[in-house]
A and B are shown apart, each in its own frame.
Chain A
Amino acid sequence: MMLSTTLLRLPVPEKIANRIRLRRFMEGITLWLAFLLLLFVQPLYVEASVGDELQSGLLQLTDSRGNRQESALVLESDFDVTVSGLIADTRLIRRFRNTSDDWREGRFVFPLPEKASVHALTMTVGERTITGEVRPRALAREDYGKARDSGRQAAMVEQQRPNLFTSRVANIPPGEDIIVELRYQQPVDYRDGQFSLRLPTTLVPRYMPGPLLPTGEVSGWHDGWAVATRQVPDADAISPYTVQPADVAPDSHRARISVSLNAGLPLADVTSPSHGLETRVDGQVMRVTPSEGPVLMNRDFVLRWRPVRGRAPVAAVFHEQFGGEDYLMAMVVPGAAPGRKLPRDLVFVIDTSGSMAGESIHQARQALGRGLDTLAPEDRFNIIQFNSQPHALFMQPEPASANNLVRARRYVSRLQAEGGTEMASALSMALGSGDPREDGRQTGRVRQVVFITDGAVGNEAALFRQIRRELGNQRLFTVGIGSAPNMHFMREAARWGRGSYTAISNPADLGAPLEALFSAMEAPVLTDIQAHWPGANAEAFPERPGDLFLGEPLIQVVRGVPAEGQLTVAGLAPDGKRWERRLDLRQSAGGLGLHRRWARAKIDGLLDRASVGGEQPDEERIIRLAMAHNLLSPFTSFVAVDSTPVRSGDSPLLADSVPTLLPAGTSAGMVRYPQTATVSPLLIVLGLVGLMFSAGVVLLRGRVAL
């Protein structure tokens, strides 16, 4: 305004003076506006030059080098499950669609049921179908690598954990897709007169304990996600990038599921705690699909069915011939044995690590609350929570008095989920927390540990060894929490801990599974179980059946026994009485896939033996066994390779890791950077430009009028 005021005293006629004054005034305003605008526009130049200021790796914020690009691959899955008797066979079709303009190599880490035996792989490209074969792991990699580099299409599936697998698909053409079909079978779970089947679709991100390994070598295989640690050297292989459903293409990560139930029994009800169901009876077969159609792959699909009352099987025998050998599978349910209840020392261990945040910790608290309900006044108990460190409520197990229970409930209600999953120290604390002065055998107390967790750890094998070492005369029970618990951990931790396991998948489903587990914990246990098969060369697995809890069946698979004679199963009830049951093998029904189940059980047995002895497993023997039965194993992979190259050497192949979805109800460990700018500067600039422009126009018109 200074400009205009200095001109006020000019000796000009009033009218013109006014005009000039106005014009000068406008000029002044325009100048000021231009100046302001300059202030705001200057950053535009700044912005243009920041591109190369990006640093990386200063903070370990992402779980890898922070180089994730949006995935260009769209993934569709199709589960076609056929249940016959105690075995479910699944055709799992995965379609990798390349939405980019480049050739892609897809990599996908996925879960399968923890006892799955993968027995076939085919790859379909357009019209052609290539059948995969089992090869020793290293050779399969070599084949696949050669095919990939020479531009031929190839698919490979490897086992990383008994329930975690990696598939790789090379040379997916731009805009086209490759279909990989896997066939696997899994045992159907049968307990308390109820059958159940779990189809995992995603995994909870695993925690990798231990110090970080230096990431020196970066081979073609290591496009590292999580950083390898001393305890989990293959961390990168089992930790896919986890994203929210909103972060993938709207038609990606959907699974069509259809189950054909051929139970061979009249069924009373078919239910699912995880999804709404649509059922259709088709003769002897019941067809079940989720009612919502394709389901989002962010929670396990759980299916349960129950025969009509009074028809629940208590024994069954199946028979199959494969390669000139007889295979038999027998199931015997011992039923309830009477016995008195013994006072217990119960230690609850609850996982409060970051992966439990969200719905999971809520469920875990509820589960623990139910556990506290089952305590009798003569019992003693303790609660241990752990994340990066364990923390116990009491120094040692305390009597379940009203006062202590109130304290425990208050403690439980305050539990929050955060931090790491350092399970080993928690296990030590729980298994070693009994009063060292007294031995369970002398006081007649039963010592039990209930472990409530989602099993999101990468060092499972070390933990199982630890359980075995520190167990003593205690029993360890596991409760799996969340939409996608690590069931391999639940089952094996309970097996090494001579206990039982269960899983709860949603808040509405808490009651029944927990009740079954807690009543099994209170009831007496059948120990020292022995199965005598007729014939000298019977090879039965599992070699030493574990103790049987209330409602649990004994299941054994045997090779080399024809379907005749009698199977005798005997056990010891807690009151010292012997329990025995005979099964006529001539009654056997035909079964499919028994030989695979047997082979898988034998491989597990070999791995167990190595783990107990602390030595390397007999790799050669496992490879021979797996190849004979066409099975995927820790040492054998499936690989399918096309014969003709489709990609020429000069078009590049980009690797692409397909992310997995974060299990429903989990709050993300990974947080997106929030949006942290407003439109305020933009609005101000626009407003100023507009004002200046109009002022300029007014000014011009003023001059013209003059």
Chain B
Amino acid sequence: MNRLLLLLLSSSATLLVFGLWIPVKAVVAQEMLALAWAESQARRTETRPWPWADTWPVARMALPGLDRSMIVLEGTHGESLAFGPGRVAGTGSDNGPVIIAGHRDTHFRKLNELKAGSEIRLQGQDGQWQNYRVESFRIVDSRREQIDTQRLSRDVLLLVTCYPFEALEAGGPLRYVVMARRQDPAPVNRVEQIDTVAGL
């Protein structure tokens, strides 16, 4: 009986520790990512936060309304989302729409506190900050919908996380999507300014 009890006790404790470890990891990793981000800004290259990482920081996102700032990683596979919000691969290059996904239990826990008109700031690899303003929210069923990146306007930022926020189940089909739109025009100094645009 005692042994059984001990087993139950220790396994529950282990579960609890693992459960708590995920948010702790998310917080700790962000600190390391901040270093990698600083380095990649200084060197202007993709810097991996630790040698075996299969992702790298691509942006810094600030949510002034929620008093939060985090480093965004490349890709949305489980490995990168564990450490930070992930930019959906293939989006956000140059001028296209940006789609960023994050775990609802860690980095995007407070996403539902964003209001229409809230500000989101995004710093790209070139160090330029861009301001976005939240326009709308939507709850979608991911079994029935996909994001058509080609139909999205180019100045759109989408934040995606799981819905409902307080659910226990990890594989749920619902997603909470925040759409924000860029405020100021894109910065003028792109890598190489192309000198002429021929008239039509």
Contacts and interface: CB of A to CB of B under 8 A. Distances in A.
B188 interface: no
Interface string B147-166: 11111101000001111111
Contacts of A50: 139, 163-164, 174
Given A61-B152, A410-B192, A428 B200 contact: yes
B198 A677 contact: no
B132 interface: no
B158 to A, nearest CB: 8
Interface string A616-643: 0000000000000000000000000000
Contact of A677 (B5, B11, B154, B162): B162
A60 B16 contact: no
B197 A392 contact: yes
Contacts of B160: 673-674, 676
B149 A683 contact: no
B169 interface: yes
A210 interface: no
Nearest to B85: A676
Interface string B93-110: 111100101111110100
Interface string A329-370: 000000000000000000000000111011000000000000
Contacts of B151: 60-61, 63
A433 B200 CA distance: 8
B43 interface: no
B93 A418 contact: yes
B198 A684 contact: no
Contact of A687 (B17, B101, B194): B17
B53 interface: no
How big is chain B's contact interface, by range? Answer: 35 or more
A388 B145 contact: no
The residue among B14, B147, B165 with the most chain A CB atoms within 10 A of its own CB is B147
B99 A682 contact: no
B138 A58 contact: yes
Interface stretch (B44-52, B74-82, B114-122): B74-82
Interface stretch (A3-11, A372-380, A472-480, A663-671): A663-671
B19 A684 contact: yes
Contacts of A676: 76, 81, 101-104, 108, 160-162, 175
Interface stretch (A37-45, A160-168, A441-449, A547-555): A37-45
A418 B150 CA distance: 7
Given A416-B93, A671-B91, A691-B9, A682 B147 contact: no
Nearest to B143: A70
B185 interface: no
Nearest to A243: B146
B101 A66 contact: no
Interface in A412-441: 414, 416, 418-420, 425, 428-429, 432-433
A681 interface: yes
A698 B4 CA distance: 12
A670 B151 CA distance: 9
Nearest to A50: B164
A108 interface: no
Interface string B65-93: 00000000000101001100010111101
A329 B137 CA distance: 63
Contact of B20 (A63, A425, A682, A684): A684
A698 B104 CA distance: 36
Interface string A395-424: 110000000000000110010101110000
Interface of B: 5, 8-9, 11-20, 22-23, 76, 78, 81-82, 86, 88-91, 93-96, 99, 101-106, 108, 136, 138-152, 154, 160-172, 174-175, 177, 179, 191-192, 194, 196-198, 200
20 contacts: A47-B166, A47-B172, A58-B138, A60-B151, A62-B147, A69-B144, A418-B94, A667-B90, A671-B147, A673-B160, A674-B88, A678-B105, A679-B19, A681-B166, A683-B18, A684-B20, A688-B12, A688-B16, A691-B13, A694-B12
